[in-house]
Structure 1
C-alpha cells in the first residue's frame, strides 16, 4: 500500500514529537555527567533545534524510501506506464 505525502508528514511529526520529549529528558539527565550545566530553557531550545532537523530528515527519508519502493514496483516506469523521468 502506498503512503501519501500527508501521512508521511503526519508520521514524521508524531515520531519527532516523541523524540523531542526523549531528547530533552536525556539532555537533562546526561549533560551533568559530562560537566554541562544548562537551564531548562536552554534544553528546550536545543531540543527544538534538533527536532526541526529531525523532522526534515525523517520526512525526506520517508519520501526517498517511497520513491525507491514505487520505482522497484514499476520496474523503472512511472505509475502510468510511461518511462520514468531521468535522474538528475
Structure 2
C-alpha cells in the first residue's frame, strides 16, 4: 500500500502544481500553454522528489556526526 500511496501523492501533487501555475502565473503577466504548464509541473515534481532524497541524506549525515 505504501507504493500506491506514494504514487497517488505524486500524481496529486503534480495536479496541484499545474493547477496552481495556471491560476497564479497570469497574475504576474506570465502566460503559458497547458503543455508548457504540464512540462513545468513535471520538472518541479522531479526536483521536489530529488530534494526529499537530499534532505534524508543530510539528516543521516547530521545524526552520524552529532551522536553522543
TM-score using structure 2 length: 0.68
Which blocks of at least 5 consecutive residues in structure 2 are unaligned? Answer: none
Residues 44-55 of structure 1: pairs in structure 2 closer than 5 A: 44-55=38-49
Q: Aligned-residue CA RMSD in angstroms?
A: 2.5
Cα offsets for 1:12-44 (capped at 9, x unmatched): x66x71432221111010011112111111101
Q: Which stretches in structure 1 are left out of the alignment for 5+ residues?
A: 1-6, 76-88
Q: Which runs of 4+ in 1 moved over 6 A?
A: none
Aligned residues: 62
Whether 1:64 aligns to 2:45 is no
Residue equivalent to 2:32 = 38
- Where 2:30 maps in the other structure, the secondary structure is coil
Aligned positions of 1:1-88 closer than 5 A = 17=10, 18-69=12-63, 71=64, 72-73=66-67, 75=68
TM-score by length of 1: 0.56
Distance in 2, matches of 1:59 and 1:31, equals 28
